[in-house]
Each structure stands twice: as structure tokens, then as C-alpha cells.
């Protein structure tokens, strides 16, 4: 979306906000548009193709009569604030619009929410339906198995499944380590089938579709933002389903990552006008926003508001603060937060017990599962259990939960600091010090650490007397490839990592070694056509000599 289209964004959201607030303008639909096949990211998204995409969100807990109470400044509030209180600023008192508002009865797509499965068209359909029912009930079902089974159903597929199985299937397909093109296409394809069959699409399913459409490429482009906005438009105007605080969190995050800050501010104002509650995850997005805007005081202000609101502060929140302070140009403040986290961990208070957390009327929460699914579940549990305890005025339970929440520096914490040292200061000695500290504390490496170190070699290597030498690059490269083979947590081969490594080899070695590195990583990588084309374009720029792309390796020209 060009800068010339900037007013369109503003007019779009303002008109949508007015229409969403007026029942007379909420378009009711009794028939559905014909679904269009989703086009790949290499095709320009047209308005028509975007409108054919459908929707989702994460289910949000609903208040049980009581609004969130303001936690008295007891337990660890002073200590938590001190983590970030580097310069000492005043925090404005919470505003009235932060109070929780009852959400009303669930709103539905206006085509009826009753679905009776059709009789099987063929004997195989009955078997596949039973298989899908069993798959979605597994603790960790395979997305490939679910998708392949679904595609084996006779057309129009979705109508043979009970509503409960459909929604369970969508829920499972929404649980991904990170949004990808495949995950997005599968999810939206099923939603298109639901649309064509007039099957009720729930609000959280619209919001999930928005999330996948906006974030499936990692970096967010103007086209991705436009896709998310059109989905939201369909959600509110065509389906008459008002977005929740989670919907706005996703839209705000996508707008900020796309660099559309005026739009992000408009979304924030609309959220306030609807009196939607600010929750823990949204405040983390606000911290990120203030970091991008280079507003260190804004980062600290939002953090202190989190503490005052009784939101649980864990290592994820602290990592967001560190990243934001670095972006805001305050690396010393970020190091200050990091050192305080380590001191808290050393006292044993923040680390807490490894035993599960329980409070009367709540779930059992564990923090021993370090897989991405375990981390995801822990984050959601901390958010919703913290809100529940606040609404129940359980000060003791909230205090215990805060003390139990993990706050020790993890792989992500170290990755943020290594990124700064590797790409900004070029201090490889500090990088090595942080890596040794990780080993001493038993903090595992992750893929992002390798990538930022490659960036360091690319930026500071290849010059006389530089500490970023070829031998150190070779060692890092060998460790990275081995980590990929071993399936190290959060470590995979991506377009970003490959390009960073190739640039590092071109800077620290020579053209031949750069090409050899490409073939080494290509043997382990299964890129999409778009990803491979992009890497080869970079490689041709790095190694322009003739002979490297003359057909010696079929299929890679």
C-alpha cells in the first residue's frame, strides 16, 4: 500500500467503525459469495480475491459479573516496577475506558448456526468422518493427517462433518508454531467451504483467519495488511460480528509491523471507543509499538500499567521490554532490565517451584513443557488465570501466580542482546560472553541466535584485524547446520537465515566458498519456489561471475 493510499486506510477504518456501530448499516447476508481459490503470495492480491477469504480469533474469557478490580500496590508490584524503572517516570492513572465491558450474547454469521451433517455420499465418506472425529480429539494431532483426510471426502466435503468436528478441526489447524503459507491456505480453504455451505463461522475463527492472512510471511507487507483489513471488514459489515479485544490486538500488531502507524493509532482509538478491555497480550503489543516509535518512556509507562492492572509479568513480557528499549535507542536500559532479571532468578523467587500452580476454581498450570506448544499454553494460562483471579478479587492467588511465573532470562532474552552486540556494536567478545553464560546457566541455543551472528560476520567481517574471522564463521556455520539436523528448538532453515549466511561467507571468504555454502544448505532445505527464487536472486548479486549458474546443477538455475 503506497503512501498515496494512506488516506484510504484512514477512511476505511473510520467508515468501518461507524458502520460497525450502527445496526442499520451492518449488511445482512442470506446467500454467500462464490468462493475464489486463494492465490499464492507471488500474485498480486486483488480486492475480489481478498474478499473471498474467510475468518477467526482466540476465544476470550468473559467476565462473570465483576469488572476487573484494581490490585492494591502490594506483593511484588514495587519489585516488578523496579525491573524497568530505569529513569523513574510518573505513570498516568488508568482511564475509565480500560474497564471491562460485557460482550453481550455471541454474534453469529447470519445464515443460521444449526448444521446437520449430510448422509455420506459414498461408503468411504463415513470412514473418513469417523477418522477425523478421532484425529481432532488427540492431544497433538498431525495437521497433515487432518488435512489429507479432509481432502479425501467427496465434494462438497464440509457438509458431511458434524459442526463440533468442524470447529475442533479449525481449532487444531490454528495451533501453529508460526503462521505459514500452508497453514493459512488450509485454514482459509476450510472456511471457504463453510461459507459456501452456509455453516456458522464463529468470531474467533474470523480472527484467526485475519491473523494467518496478515502474518503468514513473517514480515508484514502492505498487501498483507490489506488482506487483514478486508477480512475484518467482512467480519463486521457482512457478517455483523463485532471484533473482540483479540481481533483488535491482531489488527494493531499487523498495522505496526507493516509500518502503518497512523492506522495503528486509529485502531487504538476505535478500541477505546468500544470500551474494549486492554489485556496482557495487547499491552505487550503496545510495548513493541512504543519501541518501534523510539519512545522509551512509552515502553516503561505501558509496562507499569501492566503491573498496576494486575497482569502477570513473565519472561515473555520482559523480553518485549528489552527488545523495545533496544529499538528505542536505550541499550543501557535494556541491559539494566536483563541484569535485574538475572538477580531475581538468582534469589530463587522468580524461578519459583517447578511444581504446578493451582488456585481454587482454576486450572492446573505447568511450566515444565519447554516445547513451543508448552510455551504457548503457559502464556495463555497466565493471561486468563491472572484475569480470573483479579475478577474474583483473589489477591493471595494473584500474588502466588506472579511469584510462580517464570522470569529468568531464556533463549529469546539472550538472542535479543546478542543481536544488538552482533549487528550494532560489533562486539564479538560480548557475544561470546553471552554464549558462555547461556551454557553455564543451561539456556539452550535457538535458531535466531545463529542468524544474528551471521549478520555480524556480514557487517564486521572481511577486514584486516577484525575479530569476525572466517574460521569463526566456519565454526558457527557447522554448528548451525548440525543444530538443524538435530532439530534444535526454534531452529530451522529459512530464507532469512540462508541469505544472512551467504552474505557472511561472501564478506569473510570468497565466491567459491559462498556457492559451496549454498549447496550445503540447499541439501537440507525444502524451500517454496518464491523463497528459492529470492535466494538465487541474492546469490547472483553476491556471485556475479559466469560459470556458477550455467546449468551444472539441474533445477537450481
Task: Return the C-alpha cell found at 532.
Answer: 528459492
Does residue 169 sit within a domain?
Answer: yes
Are both 337 and 452 inside the same structural domain? no
* Residue reference for cell 448456526: 113
Rounded-to-integer distance, Cα 35 and Cα 51, Å = 9
Task: Return the C-alpha cell found at 53.
Answer: 477469504
Rounded-to-integer distance, Cα 104 and Cα 86, Å = 42
Domain count, the chain: 3
Does residue 557 sit within a domain?
Answer: no
Are both 18 and 138 inside the same structural domain? yes
> Is a pLDDT exceeding 90 seen at residue 473?
yes
Q: Which of 234, 269, 304 lies at the terminal end of a domain, its last residue?
A: 269
Does residue 547 sit within a domain?
Answer: no
pLDDT at 55: 35
Are both 202 and 297 inside the same structural domain? no
Q: Which of 312-316, 357-361, 412-416, 535-539 has the lowest mean pLDDT?
A: 357-361
Does residue 423 sit within a domain?
Answer: no
In tens, the pLDDT along 223-251 reads 999 999 998 998 888 888 899 999 999 99
Are both 293 and 441 inside the same structural domain? no
Question: What is the reported pTM?
Answer: 0.76
* Residue 103 main-chain phi, psi, to 5 deg: -90, -10
Does residue 419 sit within a domain?
Answer: no
Buried b / exposed e along 53-86 (16+ C-beta atoms within 10 A)? bbbbbbebeeeeeeebeebeeebbbeebbebbbb
Per-residue pLDDT band for 11 (boundaries 50, 70, 90) equals: low
Q: Which of 269, 297, 313 lies at the terminal end of a domain, its last residue?
A: 269
**What torsion, rounded to 10 degrees, do the Cα atoms 511, 513, 516, 518 define?**
-70
Does residue 75 sit within a domain?
Answer: yes
Rounded-to-integer distance, Cα 333 and Cα 141, Å = 43
Are both 239 and 165 inside the same structural domain? yes
Are both 157 and 189 inside the same structural domain? yes
Task: Return the C-alpha cell found at 221.
Answer: 507487507
Per-residue pLDDT band for 113 (boundaries 50, 70, 90) equals: low
pLDDT at 32: 33
pLDDT at 10: 59
Does residue 555 sit within a domain?
Answer: no
Are both 356 and 251 inside the same structural domain? no
Are both 156 and 261 inside the same structural domain? yes
Percent over 90 (pLDDT), the chain: 58
Does residue 421 sit within a domain?
Answer: no
pLDDT at 372: 86
Are both 381 and 264 inside the same structural domain? no
In tens, the pLDDT along 324-364 reads 999 999 999 999 999 999 988 777 654 456 788 888 888 88
Q: How many residues does the chain have?
A: 557
Are both 238 and 316 inside the same structural domain? no
Are both 54 and 68 inside the same structural domain? no
Neighbours of 190 (CB within 10 A): 25
Helix (H, G, I), strand (E, B) or coil at 203: helix
Rounded-to-integer distance, Cα 538 and Cα 527, Å = 15
Task: Return the C-alpha cell found at 71.
Answer: 490490585
Are both 390 and 473 inside the same structural domain? no
Rounded-to-integer distance, Cα 420 and Cα 322, Å = 11
Q: Which of 228, 245, 269 lies at the terminal end of a domain, its last residue?
A: 269
Non-local (6+) Cβ contacts of 426 within 8 A are: 456, 459, 460, 468
Rounded-to-integer distance, Cα 476 and Cα 101, Å = 52
Helix (H, G, I), strand (E, B) or coil at 357: strand
Rounded-to-integer distance, Cα 378 and Cα 365, Å = 7
In tens, the pLDDT along 388-399 reads 988 888 889 999
Across the chain, mean pLDDT equals 81
* Residue reference for cell 459456501: 196
What's the angle, vertex CA 499, arms to CA 496 and CA 505, rounded to 5? Answer: 140
Rounded-to-integer distance, Cα 503 and Cα 475, Å = 16
Query: Is the separation of the CB atoms in 35 and 185 below 8 Å?
Result: no
> Which residue range(s) make up the domain with 226?
1-59+104-269
In tens, the pLDDT along 52-95 reads 333 333 333 333 343 333 333 333 455 455 556 444 333 333 33
In tens, the pLDDT along 485-521 reads 988 878 889 999 999 999 999 999 999 999 999 999 9
Amino acid at each position: 500500500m503506497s503512501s498515496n493510499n494512506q488516506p484510504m486506510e484512514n477512511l476505511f477504518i473510520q467508515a468501518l467503525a461507524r458502520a460497525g456501530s450502527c445496526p442499520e448499516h451492518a449488511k445482512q447476508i442470506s446467500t454467500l459469495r462464490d468462493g475464489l481459490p486463494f492465490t499464492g503470495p507471488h500474485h498480486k492480491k486483488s480486492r475480489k480475491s481478498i474478499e473471498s477469504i474467510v475468518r477467526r480469533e482466540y476465544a476470550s474469557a468473559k467476565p462473570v459479573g465483576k469488572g476487573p478490580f484494581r490490585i492494591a500496590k502490594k506483593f511484588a508490584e514495587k519489585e516488578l516496577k523496579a525491573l524497568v524503572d530505569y529513569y523513574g517516570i510518573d505513570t498516568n492513572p488508568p482511564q475509565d475506558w480500560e474497564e471491562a465491558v460485557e460482550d453481550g450474547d455471541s454474534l453469529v454469521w447470519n445464515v443460521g448456526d444449526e448444521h446437520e451433517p449430510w448422509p455420506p455420499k459414498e461408503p468411504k465418506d463415513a470412514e473418513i468422518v469417523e477418522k477425523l472425529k478421532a484425529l481432532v480429539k488427540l492431544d497433538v494431532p498431525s495437521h497433515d493427517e487432518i488435512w489429507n483426510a479432509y481432502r479425501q471426502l467427496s465434494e462438497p466435503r464440509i457438509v458431511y462433518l458434524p459442526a463440533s468436528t468442524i470447529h475442533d478441526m479449525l481449532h487444531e489447524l490454528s495451533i501453529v508454531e508460526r503462521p505459514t503459507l500452508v497453514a493459512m491456505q488450509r485454514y482459509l480453504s476450510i472456511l471457504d467451504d463453510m461459507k459456501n455451505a452456509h455453516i456458522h463461522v464463529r468470531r474467533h475463527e474470523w480472527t484467526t483467519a485475519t491473523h494467518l492472512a496478515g502474518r503468514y510471511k513473517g514480515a508484514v507487507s502492505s498487501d498483507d495488511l490489506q488482506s487483514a483489513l478486508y477480512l475484518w471488514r467482512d467480519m463486521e459489515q457482512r457478517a455483523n460480528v463485532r471484533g473482540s479485544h483479540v481481533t483488535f490486538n491482531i489488527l494493531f500488531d499487523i498495522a505496526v509491523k507493516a509500518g502503518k502507524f497512523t492506522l495503528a493509532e486509529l485502531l487504538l482509538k476505535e478500541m477505546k471507543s468500544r470500551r474494549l478491555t486492554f489485556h496482557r497480550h495487547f499491552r505487550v503489543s503496545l510495548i513493541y509499538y512504543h519501541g518501534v516509535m523510539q519512545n522509551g518512556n512509552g515502553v516503561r509507562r505501558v509496562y507499569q500499567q501492566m503491573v498496576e492492572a494486575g497482569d502477570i509479568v513473565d519472561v515473555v513480557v520482559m523480553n518485549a521490554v528489552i527488545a523495545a528499549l533496544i529499538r528505542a535507542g536505550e541499550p543501557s536500559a535494556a541491559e539494566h532490565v536483563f541484569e535485574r532479571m538475572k538477580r531475581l532468578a538468582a534469589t530463587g523467587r522468580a524461578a519459583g517451584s517447578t511444581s504446578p500452580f493451582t488456585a481454587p476454581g482454576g486450572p492446573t498450570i505447568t511450566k515444565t513443557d519447554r516445547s513451543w506448544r508448552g510455551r504457548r499454553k503457559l502464556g495463555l494460562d497466565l493471561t486468563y488465570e491472572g484475569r480470573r483471579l483479579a475478577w474474583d478479587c483473589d489477591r493471595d492467588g494473584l500474588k502466588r501466580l506472579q511469584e510462580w511465573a517464570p522470569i529468568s532470562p531464556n533463549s529469546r532474552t539472550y538472542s535479543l542482546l546478542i543481536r544488538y552486540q552482533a549487528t550494532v556494536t560489533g562486539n564479538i567478545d560480548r557475544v561470546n560472553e553471552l554464549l558462555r553464560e547461556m551454557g553455564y546457566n543451561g539456556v539452550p541455543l535457538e535458531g535466531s541466535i545463529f542468524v544474528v551472528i551471521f549478520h555480524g560476520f556480514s557487517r564486521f567481517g572481511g577486514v584486516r584485524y577484525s575479530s569476525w574471522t572466517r574460521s569463526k564463521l566456519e565454526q558457527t556455520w557447522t554448528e548451525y547446520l548440525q543444530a538443524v539436523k538435530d532439530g534444535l528448538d526454534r531452529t530451522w532453515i529459512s530464507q532469512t537465515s540462508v541469505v544472512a549466511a551467504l552474505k557472511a561467507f561472501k564478506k569473510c571468504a570468497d565466491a567459491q566458498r559462498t556457492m559451496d555454502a549454498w549447496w550445503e544448505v540447499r541439501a537440507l532445505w525444502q524451500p517454496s519456489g518464491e523463497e528459492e527464487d529470492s535466494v538465487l536472486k541474492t546469490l547472483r548479486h553476491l556471485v556475479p561471475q559466469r560459470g556458477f549458474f550455467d546449468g551444472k546443477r539441474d533445477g537450481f538455475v
